[in-house]
């Protein structure tokens, strides 16, 4: 289940202020309300009102303002870099709305013109999702617009780019409110449509439109002529057809100049759906240029009344996209990639590194890579990490190729930088690597069907088998004592003693749980010291989601996330899979009634792991497989609890007490496994014969 990922969108209008909390994961407005703007008023006063509404919504949702990632606001008028240059309805001129609202809300804040915001919502989540370029034409009291290219709004040098309403479509035509003549707004705004409807009603006293408004011409709306046309009324048909003719000229001009992937028509008029869009497309087709199979898509906008809230809420994504693109494009240029940089998007759900799926393009098509910024707070020696990573993957590629497999899909492949190294260091000291993307593959965060878990067991067992002759001692221990459980307890005790966040008193039962297993924690290290448990090349993070499965066959394809490749114990690799996969819930499930050890999945994994290892495990390793399962679950829970006590500095969190929930989850599994240890041992004996 996805965790909530909150931001706030503010649609500031001359009459009302609409505010909504948006969950970026579910793509829904989870709370919203509106208040009167009471304009014209100073920006400081309106910002206080907005902040008050935000706080009320957060209280209703039972969250804090600090849980809100950012606040975005859209406003009428000319906006540039967060400054409202002019907004007549609000009485503002050269007002730094972004600075004032950020000061009031104490959250990162982003500001845009309302039409641009609506266009941005359509580009990211609406009618233009997946397209690289979109132009929105919004029809209301006036006619506005927005341009979005590669995830970025185009504001222009002065902040009023995409003022579609003031594109001239009839030289010397009707007077427009801007002072010019022949603007599209004078023909295609809702105001113009209503005015033209009234004019035709006077010319055609017998028109059905009179009945639709019950004889009161002041009741005419933008729908009146469309309803009349649907009833076969001549006057209504003339009004609608002329409206569409004029709009088609404007749309065709946009297409001929920009050739965007998508043009969407928004505002109240878009509710007419295909009654409007079908004839508009036909007319635009004749007026615009394009090639067969590559025409601009003309659609009605997806978002209606909530377009402003969604557009405002998504503004923070634009800021992130801008930063990411600038940084990552520069980094990609330093690697030996095919083609030119095209895009970079967040990818995966890992706790440690920042990961992006990068696309480049050349004449042969698109090429995809995985770009990762290695977390050097966790991996203090990233050069040694990459030496391990590259040496092992190149060794695996040779083994796979010799066996007749496909090394480009069955193991990871490191792309070298242009200077010959296996990494790039950016201007801020960030440490980056680039890998080929394994095509037609997918991963799972939780076992969806038993055969997936079995296949993953075979894959990790085979991983041990393929690396059986690799000299484990030649690898650097990139995180010293990573799976040294006694040392993890030492770190835990230090965290309890320091109690930097004052949390220890609230988790006494969890602390007692760890301390009670101090002797158990020494089991594997003692076996190794006695020469019974051998050192192997180990993955050290054998979760199900670190295996890629083939999209077509569903079979395990490639083991990923090799940052912790180093010397270790095979039983730890086995145990990490059990603690993550042989459970009835995800590792951060807070409802412990849902968290149980699944002995049937354990048996399935034992069978697969032993088969995959092809007889390569020693008698001691086989005996200690159940202990490895308990040990890794216990160790991971201890690490989560340690991080919680230390202020959540290691694992990424998305909610308060996230690490504590994870720790309790793991300790529940430990208790379940301890109660069934005899059964676990019997299962290993069954398949070790």
| The two structure tokens encoding residue 265 | 């028509």
- Selection from 262, 254, 204, 261 nearest residue 229 by Cα: 204
Angstrom distance (rounded) from CA 483 to CA 636: 9
pLDDT at 3 exceeding the cut of 70: no
- Provide the β-strand partners of residue 367: 360
Q: Using the predicted structure, report yes or no on whether residue 328 has a pLDDT greater than 90.
A: no
How high is the pLDDT of residue 43?
93
Of residues 556, 493, 546, the one with CA closest to residue 352: 546
Q: Is 411 left (phi over 0), alpha (psi -120 to 50) or beta?
A: beta
Is the per-residue pLDDT at 1 higher than 50?
no
For the cut 70, the answer to whether the pLDDT of residue 320 exceeds it is: no
Highest mean pLDDT among 58-72, 77-91, 258-272, 656-670: 656-670
Contacts 24+ apart (CB under 8 A), 176-182: 177/142
**Domain covering 333-436, topology:** Phosphorylase Kinase; domain 1 (3.30.200)
pTM of the predicted structure, to 2 decimals: 0.54
pLDDT at 261 over 60: yes
Taking residues 192-200, report their average pLDDT: 95
Q: In what order do the strands lie in the sheet with 109-113?
A: 28-36, 16-23, 6-12, 71-75, 109-113
Q: Of how many residues is the chain composed?
A: 689
Put the strands of the sheet holding 297-300 in their side by side order.
Answer: 152-153, 143-149, 133-139, 262-267, 297-300
Tell me, what DSSP letter sits at residue 594?
A: G
Any idea what DSSP says for residue 362? E
Rounded Cα–Cα distance for residues 533 and 627 (Å) = 12
Q: Please give the average per-residue pLDDT across 302-322, as a whole number.
A: 84
- Note the pLDDT of residue 351: 54
The SS3 assignment for 596 reads: coil
Segment 387-445, tens digit of pLDDT: 999 999 999 999 999 999 999 999 999 999 999 999 999 877 889 999 999 988 877 76
Section 594-623 average pLDDT: 95
Q: Could you give the percent of the chain with pLDDT greater than 90?
A: 67
In SS3 terms, 229-295 reads as HHCCCHHHHHHHHHHHHHHHHHHHHHHHHHCCCEEEEEEHHHHHCHHHHHHHHHHHHHHCCCECCEC
Query: What number is the average pLDDT over the span 186-208?
Result: 94
CA pair distance 421, 433, nearest whole angstrom: 10
Q: What is the pLDDT of residues 226-260, one digit of tens each?
A: 999 999 999 999 999 999 999 999 999 999 999 99
Least confident of 166-175, 197-206, 499-508: 166-175
- DSSP state string for 437-454: --SSEE--SS-SSHHHHH
Number of alpha helices (DSSP H) and beta strands (DSSP E) in the chain: 22, 23
Query: pLDDT tens-digit profile of 269-287?
Result: 888 888 899 999 999 988 8
pLDDT at 551 over 90: no
Going by C-alpha positions, the residue among 195, 169, 197 that lies closest to residue 181 is: 169
pLDDT at 251: 94
Residue 141's pLDDT is 83
**What would you report as the CA-atom Rg of the chain, rounded to the nearest whole angstrom?**
31
**Which residue(s) pair with 146 in the sheet?**
136
Alpha carbons 291 and 495: distance in angstroms, whole number: 66
Domain ranges of the chain: 1-126, 127-301, 333-436, 441-687
Q: What average pLDDT does the segment 164-191 reach? A: 90
Cβ atoms 400, 465 nearer than 8 A: no
Give tens-digit pLDDT for 558-583. 999 999 999 999 999 999 999 988 99
Residue 652 has pLDDT above 90, yes or no: no
pLDDT of residue 448 exceeding 90, the answer is: no
Pick from 155, 120, 132: nearest CA to 343: 132
Q: Is the pLDDT of residue 554 over 90?
A: no
180's tokens: 């010019």
Q: Is the confidence at residue 446, as pLDDT, over 70? A: no
- Using a 10 angstrom Cβ sphere, with 0-12 exposed, 13-18 middle and 19 or more buried, the burial of residue 15 is exposed
Question: What is residue 414's three-state secondary structure?
Answer: strand
Mean pLDDT to the nearest integer, 353-362: 82
- Answer yes or no: is pLDDT of 323 > 60: no
Return d(Cα 281, Cα 251) in angstroms, integer: 10
CATH of domain 127-301: 3.30.420.40
Looking at CATH, the fold of the domain delimited by 441-687 is given as: Aminoglycoside 3'-phosphotransferase; Chain: A, domain 2 (3.90.1200)
Residue 352 confidence (pLDDT) above 70:
no
DSSP assignment of 515-581, as one string?
HTTTTGGGHHHHHHHTT-S--EEE-S---GGGEEEETTT--EEEE---TT-EEE-HHHHHHHHHHHH
CATH code of the domain occupying 1-126: 3.30.420.40
Query: Would you say the CATH fold of 441-687 matches that of 1-126?
Result: no
> Which tens digit of pLDDT belongs to each residue from 496-527?
999 999 999 999 999 999 999 999 999 999 99
At residue 347 the predicted structure's pLDDT band, cuts being 50, 70 and 90, is low
Question: Average pLDDT, stretch 190-216?
Answer: 95
What is the CA 406 to chain-centroid distance, rounded? Answer: 31
How high does pLDDT run on average in the chain?
Answer: 90
Is the pLDDT score of 384 beyond 90? yes
Give 121-163 pLDDT, tens digit per residue.
999 999 988 888 999 998 888 888 999 988 888 888 777 788 8
> Which residue, 556, 149, 483, is CA-closest to 318?
149
C-alpha to C-alpha distance for 88 and 139, rounded to whole angstroms: 19
Look at the alpha carbons of 91, 95, 99, 100 in this order and tell me if their dihedral is positive or negative: negative
Does the N-terminal peptide bond of residue 40 adopt cis geometry, omega within 30 degrees of 0?
A: yes
> How confident is the model at residue 263, as a pLDDT?
94
Task: Identify the CA nearest to 18 among candidates 317, 311, 300, 222.
Answer: 311
Using 50, 70 and 90 to split pLDDT, how confident is the model at 2? very low
pLDDT digits (tens, 9 = 90+) for 674-688: 999 999 999 999 999
Share of the chain above pLDDT 70, in %: 96
């Amino acid at each position: 289940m996805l965790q909530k990922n909150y931001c706030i969108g503010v649609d500031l209008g001359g009459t009302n202020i609409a505010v909504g909390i948006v969950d970026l994961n579910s793509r829904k407005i989870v709370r919203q309300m509106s208040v009167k703007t009471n304009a014209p008023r100073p920006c400081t006063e309106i910002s206080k009102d907005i902040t008050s509404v935000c706080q009320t919504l957060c209280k209703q949702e039972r969250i804090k303002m600090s849980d809100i990632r950012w606040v975005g606001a859209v406003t009428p008028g000319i906006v540039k870099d967060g400054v409202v240059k002019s907004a007549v309805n609000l009485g503002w001129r050269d007002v730094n709305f972004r600075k004032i609202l950020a000061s009031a809300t104490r959250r990162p804040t982003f500001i845009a013109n309302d039409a641009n915001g609506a266009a941005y919502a359509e580009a990211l989540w609406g009618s233009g999702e997946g397209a690289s370029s979109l132009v929105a034409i919004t029809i209301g009291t006036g006619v506005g617009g927005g341009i979005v290219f590669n995830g970025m709004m185009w504001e222009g040098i002065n902040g009023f780019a995409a003022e579609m309403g003031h594109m001239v479509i009839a030289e010397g035509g009707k007077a427009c409110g801007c002072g010019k003549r022949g603007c599209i707004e004078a023909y295609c705004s809702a105001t113009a449509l209503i005015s033209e409807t009234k004019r035709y009603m006077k010319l055609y006293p017998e028109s059905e439109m009179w009945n639709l408004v019950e004889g009161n011409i002041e009741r005419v709306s933008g729908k009146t002529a469309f309803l009349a046309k649907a009833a076969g009324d001549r006057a209504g048909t003339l009004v609608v057809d002329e409206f569409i003719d004029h709009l088609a000229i404007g749309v065709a001009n946009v297409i001929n100049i920009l050739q965007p992937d998508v043009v969407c028509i928004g505002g109240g008029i878009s509710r007419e759906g295909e009654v409007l869009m079908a004839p508009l497309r036909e007319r635009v087709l004749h007026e615009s240029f394009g090639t067969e199979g590559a025409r601009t898509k003309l659609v009605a906008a997806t978002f209606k009344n909530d377009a402003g809230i969604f557009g405002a809420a998504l503004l923070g994504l634009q800021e992130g996209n801008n930063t990411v693109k600038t940084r990552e494009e520069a980094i990609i240029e330093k690697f030996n990639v095919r083609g030119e940089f095209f895009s970079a998007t967040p990818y995966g759900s890992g706790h440690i590194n920042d990961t992006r799926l990068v696309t480049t393009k050349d004449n042969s098509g698109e090429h995809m890579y995985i770009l990762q910024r290695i977390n050097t707070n966790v991996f203090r020696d990233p050069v040694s990490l990459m030496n391990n990573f590259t040496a092992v993957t190149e060794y695996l590629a040779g083994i796979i190729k010799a066996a007749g497999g496909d090394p480009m899909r069955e193991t990871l492949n490191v792309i070298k930088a242009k200077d010959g190294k296996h990494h790039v260091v950016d201007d801020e000291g960030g440490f980056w690597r680039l890998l080929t993307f394994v095509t037609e593959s997918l991963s799972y965060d939780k076992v969806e069907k038993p055969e997936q878990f079995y296949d993953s067991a075979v894959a990790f067992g085979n991983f041990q088998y393929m690396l059986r002759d690799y000299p484990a001692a030649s690898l650097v221990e990139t995180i010293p004592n990573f799976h040294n459980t006694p040392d993890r307890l030492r770190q835990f005790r230090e965290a309890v003693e320091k109690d930097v966040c004052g949390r220890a008193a609230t988790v006494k039962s969890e602390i007692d749980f760890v301390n009670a297993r101090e002797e158990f924690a020494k089991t594997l290290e003692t076996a190794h010291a006695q020469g019974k448990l051998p050192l192997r090349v180990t993955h050290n993070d054998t979760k199900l989601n670190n295996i890629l499965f083939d999209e077509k066959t569903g079979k395990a394809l490639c083991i990923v996330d090799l940052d912790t490749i180093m010397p270790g114990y095979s039983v730890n690799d086995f145990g990490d899979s059990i603690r993550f996969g042989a459970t009835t819930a995800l590792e951060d499930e807070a409802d412990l009634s849902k968290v149980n050890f699944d002995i049937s999945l354990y048996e399935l994994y034992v069978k697969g792991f032993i088969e995959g290892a092809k007889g390569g495990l020693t008698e001691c390793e086989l005996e200690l497989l159940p202990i490895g399962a308990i040990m890794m679950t216990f160790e991971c829970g201890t690490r989560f609890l340690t991080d919680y006590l230390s202020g959540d500095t290691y694992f990424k969190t998305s909610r308060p007490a996230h690490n504590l929930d994870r720790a309790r989850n793991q300790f529940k599994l430990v208790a379940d496994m301890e109660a069934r240890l005899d059964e676990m041992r019997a299962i290993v004996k069954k398949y070790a014969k």
